[in-house]
Amino acid sequence: MGRYLQLLKLQLRTSALLAAQYRWDFLIDGLISLVWAATAIAPLLIVYSGRSQTMIPGWSMNEALVVTGWFILLQAILEGAINPGLQAVVDHIRKGTLDFVLLKPADAQFLVSTSRFQLWRVVSVGTGIAVFFIAFGRMGRAPSPAGLAQATVLLCTATLVLYSMWILIVSTAFYVVKVDNLTYMFSSIFDAARWPSSVFRGVLKAVFTFVIPLALMTTWPAEALLGRLEPVTLVYAIAASLGFAAASRTVWLLSLRRYASAGG
């Protein structure tokens, strides 16, 4: 475990060296992050610009803004920490250099997952947190310590689910070489997480709750911060994230086996 922490530190250092080489990215990423934040908030403003103050059932505009904050935050984690490393797997498979990873005496999933970070995406994390401050500022209150604690747990479960889904998608790269379309599809589905889950009805609601648990990623953490999360939801979130993690690990290992016995 200590060794893996040390490895993570070293991989982060490598990414930091890369980030320092391309320092203009800092400025560009900063700007992009602001544009993303604006485009994430704009639809809310449109929806809430009508006469009624609660267009989304059960959510005032400021409350919905908290959901948007989580969306920005998780998107930053996805694009800064999860996506780059796993994109590397796809490249490895295409170029045949995954062999080098598999020959290393360390877990291959760990090595590829941590191989790249887009560190400038930290700017977007800051933007997400700023949105929380604005939303709570406009509501004139602050999250309770219990709410913060719940939100922290949900941040971990959301990240784990997001990561596991990504691993599941990337594992398909072992079967079909072009996964670009799949990753686009996932990105656009993830886009729906900018809305509180109560906007979805019927089949969509079921899909976004059980198949792709978007509620777990943004709505529940927002509810936690707002202090209205049912504590039992935490249990669901933890169970679901562990389930996803176990499933993705299994699929990853099976895919590696396939690569080893078919490859070449």
Partner 1 sequence: MISVRGLKKHYRVHKRPPGLKAALKSLFKREYTTVPAVDGIDFEIKPGERVGFLGPNGAGKTTTLQVLAGLLYPSDGEVRVDGHLPQKREVAFLKKIMLVMGQKQQLLWDLPPSDTFELNRAIYDVPRDEAKKRVDGLIELLQIGDVVNKPTRQLSLGERMKCELAAALVHGPKVLFLDEPTIGLDVSMQVVMRDFIRTYNEQFGATLILTSHYMDDVAALCPRVIVIDKGQLSYDGGLDELVQRVRPEKRVAFRLSAAVPLSALEGLGKVVKNDGAEAVLQVPVEQVNAVVGKALQSLPVKDLTVENPPLEEVMSELFSRSRAEKGKAA
| Nearer to partner 1 (CB atom), residue 21 or residue 188 | 21
CA–CA separation, 16 and 229 (whole Å): 37
Alpha helices in 48-144 (DSSP H): 61-77, 83-95, 98-102, 108-113, 122-139
Residue 200 tokens, joined = 């979805």
| Nearer to partner 1 (CB atom), residue 19 or residue 74 | 19
Using CB under 8 A, pick the residue from 32, 47, 55, 102 that binds partner 1.
Answer: 102
Reduced to 3 states, what is the DSSP secondary structure of residue 117? coil
CA–CA separation, 148 and 153 (whole Å): 9
CA–CA separation, 178 and 94 (whole Å): 9
Q: What is the DSSP letter of 218?
A: I
Q: Which stretch binds partner 1 (CB under 8 A): 101-109, 165-173, 176-184, 227-235?
A: 101-109
Would you give the end-to-end CA distance of the chain in angstroms? 33
Minimum CB separation of residue 102 from partner 1 in Å reads: 6
Residue 106 contacts partner 1 per CB under 8 A: yes
Residue 97 contacts partner 1 per CB under 8 A: yes
Residue 260 contacts partner 1 per CB under 8 A: yes
| Nearer to partner 1 (CB atom), residue 9 or residue 141 | 9
Minimum CB separation of residue 95 from partner 1 in Å reads: 7
| Nearer to partner 1 (CB atom), residue 174 or residue 208 | 174
| Nearer to partner 1 (CB atom), residue 101 or residue 139 | 101
Residue 104 contacts partner 1 per CB under 8 A: yes
Residue 249 contacts partner 1 per CB under 8 A: no
**Phi and psi of 49, rounded to 5°?**
-80, -10
Which is nearest to 67 in space by CA: 241, 170, 257, 215? 215
Residue 91 contacts partner 1 per CB under 8 A: no
Count Cβ neighbours within 10 Å for each residue of 241-264 and write b for 16 or more, e otherwise: beebbeebeebbeebbeebeeeee
CA–CA separation, 137 and 62 (whole Å): 9
Residue 264 contacts partner 1 per CB under 8 A: yes
Residue 111 contacts partner 1 per CB under 8 A: yes
The torsion region of residue 58 among left (phi > 0), alpha (psi -120 to 50) and beta comes to: left
Residue 23 contacts partner 1 per CB under 8 A: no
| Nearer to partner 1 (CB atom), residue 107 or residue 191 | 107
Residue 21 contacts partner 1 per CB under 8 A: yes
Residue 176 contacts partner 1 per CB under 8 A: no
Residue 226 tokens, joined = 């707002």
Q: Which stretch binds partner 1 (CB under 8 A): 34-42, 102-110, 221-229, 244-252?
A: 102-110
CB count within 10 Å of CB 209 equals 17
Summarize as ranges the residues that interact with partner 1 (CB under 8 A).
Answer: 3, 6-7, 10-11, 14, 17-18, 21, 95-97, 99-100, 102-106, 111, 257, 260-264
